[in-house]
Amino acid sequence: MQKGFNLLIADRNPHIREFLKREMGAEGYNIQLAKNGREVLKLVNSSTPIDLIIIDLDLPDANELNLFQSLEDRIPTLPFIVHSYLSDYRESSKSLKSVMFVPKQGNSSETLKEVAWSLLKEPYSKKFKTPED
């Protein structure tokens, strides 16, 4: 089990948030939920450190470019998993860096579990190269 890691799951759909909370919580992760961009920023800035964010690009009140830039400015090493529909990701992918993408489809929760663990088990900086590298 992966106890001790704090995940933030951000999705506009309450059913998806609760489903992912159950699935990822069963793996031993501590879960916090956000339904919009404002809640994401509030939780990231709280006293509880976030180790990984699973985020849908279609959050209310959040232009993904601004939200990702704000998060990257505050915590540049924070890993992201974009859990969204492929069409949403294709439109935004040019602006996103250092993120993993898991499409919303069928049994994506199993893929999310695998990707989350792969990001958390070794330092994030080893997983991605930034344009400066």
| pLDDT tens by residue, the chain, 133 residues | 456 899 999 999 999 999 999 999 999 999 999 999 999 999 998 999 999 999 998 888 877 667 877 887 778 788 889 898 766 555 555 555 567 889 888 788 999 999 999 999 875 444 444 334 3
Residue range of the domain that includes 85: 6-127
Is residue 133, in this structure, part of any structural domain at all? no
- The answer to whether residue 34 sits within a structural domain is yes
Does residue 132 lie in a domain region? no
CA–CA gap between residue 67 and residue 72 (Å, rounded)? 9
Whether 43 maps to a domain, the answer reads yes
Query: Would 96 be classed as within a structural domain?
Result: yes
Whether the Cβ atoms of residue 12 and residue 59 lie closer than 8 Å to each other: yes
Cβ–Cβ under 8 Å, residues 102 and 115? yes
In a domain, 33, yes or no: yes
Q: What is the DSSP letter of 132?
A: T
pTM exceeds cut of 0.85:
no
CATH no. for residue 17? 3.40.50.2300
Can you state the percent helix, strand and coil of the chain, rounding each to 5? 40, 20, 40
Sheet of strand 52-55, all strands in order from the earlier edge strand to the far edge:
30-34, 6-10, 52-55, 80-84, 99-103
With respect to residue 57, please indicate whether it lies within any of the assigned structural domains: yes
Residue 11 within a domain? yes
The confidence score (pLDDT) of residue 21 equals 97
Per-residue buried b or exposed e for 103-114, using 16+ beta carbons within 10 Å of the residue's own CB = ebeeebbebbbe
Number of independent structural domains in the chain = 1
